[in-house]
Amino acid sequence: MALTGLEIYKLLPKKNCGECGPPTCLAFAMSLAAAKTTLDLCPYVSDEAKEALGAASAPPIKLIKIGSGDKTVELGDETVLFRHDKTFFHPTGIAFEVEDSLNDAELTQKLKEINELEFDRVGLHYEVDMVAVKQTADAAQFKAAVQKIEAGTKLSLVLITEDVASAEQALEACKGRNPLLYGATANNYSEMTELAKKYSVPLGVKAENIFALSDLVEKITALGYKELVLDSGARGTSQVLADLTEVRRAAIKKKYRPFGYPTVAFATAEDPMEEIMQAQVYLTKYASVVVLKTTAKHFVLPLLTWRQNLYTDPQKPIQVETKIYEVGNVTADSPVYLTTNFSLTYFSVEGEVEGSKVPSYIIPVDTDGTSVLTAWAAGKYSAEKIAEAINTIGIADKVNHREIILPGYVAVLSGKLEEKSGWKVIVGPREAAGIPAFAKSRYGA
Amino acid sequence: MIIIGERINGMFKDIGQAVREMDPKPLQEWAIKQQEAGANYLDINTGPNAEDQVVALKWMVQVVQEVSDLPLCLDCTNFDAIEAGLEICKKPALINSCPADRPKIERVFPMAVKHNAKIIGLTMDAKGIPKNAENRIALAMELVAAADEFGLPMEDLFIDPLILPVNVAQEHAPEVLEAIKQTKLLANPAPKTVLGLSNVSQKAPDRPLINRTFLAMAMACGLDAVIADANDDPLMATAATAEILLNQSVYCDSYVKVFKSK
């Protein structure tokens, strides 16, 4: 992101002395914008101008890491407001708040629930990221809780305290884990910043509103610390949504440095269902970390599914797992349909097969997520490749017959496919919409 | 793509005569005709024969606004006439035009801000039209700095890098394309760009072919607006197609029709 001519011109001294080469500051600004000259040639340039030029070459949102080892969570470093413009790069970190007031048994139970929040679904693996320990009483109790949690989970940690002494003890208790220290406020920021520097951990910054947040970030960066995660202090869904949008927009569109950091949002609704919906809004609208309380699997799974979905690259076709799919109560006599592993293609076929009321198998051949005709044109859906897929996927063990249904548009493959696979190839309809009628006439549903 | 219909101009015989005789009919017919063809603005120019430009331009604005709700592009070198027009424009108008001359900038920019109008800024000054893209851009930068100084929103400044006839000033066309590209780097948000398209084909054969070819090329360089013949169907179809190919409008099979009705 280069600076524009106007932005540079506003930073220049406007002396029009010509010592840089071009006759006017305006002309010099344009040479700079076109990268035809360097700022050092101006003897009167201010520190502000130098800073701005540095800012132009930095990414709009800084990359911040929380945690250590293979559980490190990367936050920030995003470049767009809408995923369809490019993609979102670093999935929102999901953190679970645990209060230090829990007794031993409760704490162990809570940690167990959080550690077990791993899911396998449609060939994908989902995990959660962090445990946020919240201080409710004195430093000793907080430290004890942090120690137990540090020992009881591999997940990254967030320390929620505004008390400097407590924070120091807690940081000592989880040395080497690189937790997020949350955080710095208008009242404690200089001590908290020193602490974050000393332990070199990322620092959460919390203010009353986005204006106060901007001031506070400027004070902290003036102290020489830039490992920050931002919180505008808002807690109602609509205000958080507005603030998160403003922060992201200012960072990307205006290169506004105080907001060039990842963000943290807290889901606050009492009812877990509402809390998850709140979390979903924050996750969708730019929050880098979402902190929630509910650890129930049936609430967390939809959130993780949505996160996975939102953070996929729109440029890459979405693929289904290559395996045998069973639609309805299949038997050894059920028909077998061939298709490709492009999501759109596969689900069109699956929907129509279901509609045909004939229990069936579907085999999506791996074509790198391309449609039937695209794959065929690119040589990824040849008789050899399909035959290989049929013979390695294990469908022969599931059915008594040796008949396979080919998409009608690639009927031309049928002879060769019979030869290569040893299966009898039936040419199905060209469109998946024709499957119910095809199945009815053939299998008498 | 913003299409500014060029036809209500005293240089055309029918309009020149209508302005002289204060006959609203031809103006109103062309206003409707251009609006139906898909124009987004209507250029209003008294032509050289108007007795009193202030009176003529005001009258033209009034009669055109009687039949069309389109915003107007007030095309006049007399800034008093433009100001009189701005005062009665129902929608934020476009001032056509202001060169990169300090005295003119100081007259036009405050007037535009006061009346919530937009400005077409020409990349020329008292010395004339520059030869190359670099000098065009230097003048564009003067206009951009002026917008910032007088508080005109950058999106309301339309930089016109001045295309000249290809038969007598052939070397200018590629320089203009380069200038359009570079204009986008001057500020963020960037100023808009505009061309008086028909100039490119003055006194050349098959003018529509030259016009629409250059339009497509200029759009690929980032052209935002054009003063042109809105009733030249192939030209409008070219603009519609270029929008599709630049991913500025979502494709559909009836994209030309959609473009004209936008």
- The tens digit of pLDDT for each residue in B194-233 reads 999 999 999 999 999 999 999 999 999 999 999 999 999 9
Candidates B102, B136, B139, B186: best to mutate against A (most CBs of A within 10 A) is B186
B186–A26 CB contact, under 8 Å: no
Q: Which of residues 232-261 of A touch B (CB under 8 A)?
A: 253
Q: Which helix (H) or strand (E) holds A121?
A: strand A118-121
pTM metric for this prediction: 0.80
By Cβ distance, the residue of A26, A33, A34 closest to B145 is: A26
In this prediction, residues B243-253 reach a mean pLDDT of 97
In this structure, is the dihedral angle defined by the CA atoms of residues A111, A235, A84 and A276, taken in order, positive or negative? Answer: positive
Whether residue B247 lies within 8 A of chain A, CB to CB, comes out as: no
A6–B190 CB contact, under 8 Å: no
- Could you report the average pLDDT of every consecutive run of 10 residues in chain A (445 residues)? 79 88 86 79 84 73 94 94 94 98 95 96 88 96 96 96 96 95 96 97 97 98 96 96 98 92 97 97 98 97 96 88 95 97 93 95 95 92 95 95 96 96 96 96 82
B142–A26 CB contact, under 8 Å: yes
Note the pLDDT of residue A318. 85
Whether residue B142 lies within 8 A of chain A, CB to CB, comes out as: yes
In this prediction, residues B126-147 reach a mean pLDDT of 92
Chain B CB contacts of A34 below 8 Å: 182, 185
In this structure, is the dihedral angle defined by the CA atoms of residues A334, A337, A342 and A344, taken in order, positive or negative? Answer: negative
The structure tokens listed for A208 are: 């009353």
Candidates B152, B185, B247, B248: best to mutate against A (most CBs of A within 10 A) is B185
Q: In chain A, what are the domains?
A: 5-46 (1.10.15.40), 63-311 (3.20.20.20), 325-443 (3.40.50.11600)
8 Å CB contact between A240 and A280: no
Please determine, for residue B147, whether its predicted confidence score (pLDDT) is greater than 80: yes
8 Å CB contact between A73 and A65: yes
The alpha carbon of residue A7 is apart from the nearest alpha carbon of chain B, in Å, by: 7
Note the pLDDT of residue A1. 45
Q: Residue A187 in 3-state DSSP?
A: coil
Note the pLDDT of residue A121. 82
Chain A CB contacts of B154 below 8 Å: 6
In this prediction, residues B100-122 reach a mean pLDDT of 97
A4–B190 CB contact, under 8 Å: yes
Burial class of residue A41, CB neighbours in 10 A (0-12, 13-18, 19+): middle
8 Å CB contact between B97 and B119: yes
Distances in Å between the Cα of B50 and the Cα atoms of A205, B9, B55, B108 are 67, 11, 9, 22
φ/ψ bin of A123: left (φ > 0), alpha (ψ from -120 to 50), beta (otherwise): left
Please determine, for residue B188, whether its predicted confidence score (pLDDT) is greater than 90: no
Whether residue A137 lies within 8 A of chain B, CB to CB, comes out as: no
Candidates A3, A4, A254: best to mutate against B (most CBs of B within 10 A) is A4
By Cβ distance, the residue of A7, A27, A34 closest to B188 is: A7
Q: How far apart are CA B174 and CA B214, in angstroms?
A: 10
